[in-house]
Homo-oligomer: A and B are copies of this chain.
């Protein structure tokens, strides 16, 4: 594996202009079962929005997942909501067969041009380095579960003592580990946002399996990631009547916080 900026994620989220909008191809390599990973779909939309806004950083983006698209061509309709000096706000609709599948709104900027105070009280999770962690695929196999196809796109490693790997052992609804793309490509602003939806559901280790579809995902990109691994931690504290939040943090290889995420998801039957 060599480290490089472009990679399979960049290729599979590529967009091209067509008429007033954009088109892209949803590749089944990023599927969970029959459905594309939500972070991957968001990545496609963000590629178009970065072009439309002329700003490289999706500083705050929200995606509403309306109905999962199938593999194959998708159309993107984009619109600038408000142009601005420091932020450009824009929306995108990801459509397939005239049906809207995902609606995105975001504010885009150039984080490297910002000036202001910095004070960080959050600290990165304290876990073993990647070479002393265990691959998620190995853990999943050990637990006798099927590995979703999308998981083969990542190198995701959990601490050997991760409670996540032990199904049925209850709290905490939490997962912490290292992640990078399986092809060794480095994170960029768009792929970092997508990686905030790359970890398996926090609940999967503790309650009955089944799909945990995302209703809404919001990610704040708080810094440009350094090359190398990202360290992610995701937590659920409030599961009520089948609805849950997943709160996430991504830290880069230099120990800086690069993304905060929250999604509202839903437990479906086993």
Contacts and interface: CB of A to CB of B under 8 A. Distances in A.
A100 to B, nearest CB: 7
A257 B245 CA distance: 12
Contacts of A173: 119, 121
Copies of the protein in its oligomer:
2
B238 A60 contact: no
Contacts of A120: 237-240
A142 interface: no
Interface residues of A, number: 50
A32 to B, nearest CB: 20
Nearest to A268: B116
A122 interface: yes
A31 interface: no
Interface string A9-29: 000000000000000000000
A87 B216 CA distance: 11
12 contacts: A66-B81, A66-B82, A89-B103, A115-B241, A116-B241, A117-B267, A119-B239, A120-B237, A120-B238, A120-B240, A238-B260, A260-B262
The 8 nearest A-B residue pairs measured at CB: A116-B242, A122-B237, A114-B241, A60-B216, A66-B82, A62-B62, A119-B239, A60-B264
Interface of A: 59-60, 62, 64, 66-67, 81-82, 87, 89, 91, 100, 103, 105, 107, 111, 114-122, 171-173, 207, 215-216, 218, 220, 222-223, 236-243, 245, 257, 260, 262, 264, 266-267
Given A60-B216, A62-B216, A66-B82, 9 more contacts: A66-B89, A89-B103, A107-B215, A114-B243, A115-B241, A116-B243, A117-B239, A122-B238, A218-B218
